[in-house]
Amino acid sequence: GPGDIAFDAGLERLYVGSGGTNEVLTFEASNGAFLVDFVRQNTGGLIKVRGLAFHPGGDLLVVSQGSHQVLRYSGLTSGALVQILADDDDIQNNRAVAATAAGDVFIAVPSGGNLKIRRYNGTTGEFVQEFVDENIFFLGSLLVPDMTANDDGDLFLTFEISGFKGI
């Protein structure tokens, strides 16, 4: 069913990803009216949609957890696939993606008690660095459902560790 959401830069459209139907829908932000299937069901390479974020150029980044990829769709057309931004087996555990104003793309990859945040070049998709690689196993099982970045490039994560939720 519906899960992850993101607003476009102008806050005019709400994008809703559905992991159950493998699609991204758009709605009018002001009144909730359905607009269009931005990425149609079972097309565009989506398998188990998770995280959504907008790249500074207006393209939509979508975590396809089932294919272990982060896909980039044109924000100027109705969801045309632009590129496979990241393709990594560890993405199977991911739910969160964020893009900075500078164009860097960050992917949170939690696994048990370990958290990795990987930085990718938002244009080429090239892996840049392990931005965070921390073993926090002593805190219990970790889930990072969402992540965002501000204009200064600071990352903000929501998390859940053994039932405790926070930012």
Q: In this predicted model, what pLDDT tens digit does every residue of 119-166 receive, in sequence order?
A: 888 888 888 888 777 765 444 455 666 778 887 888 887 766 555 555
Structure tokens at 12: 């005019």
More confident residue, 90 or 27: 27
Banded pLDDT at 47 (limits 50, 70, 90): confident
pTM of the model: 0.83
Name the residue with higher pLDDT: 163 or 53: 53
Task: For residues 16 and 166, give the distance between their C-alpha atoms in angstroms, rounded to a whole number.
Answer: 23
Other residues' Cβ atoms within 10 Å of the Cβ of residue 151: 9
| Residues 134, 149: Cα–Cα separation, whole Å | 20
What pLDDT, on the 0 to 100 scale, is given for residue 145? Answer: 65
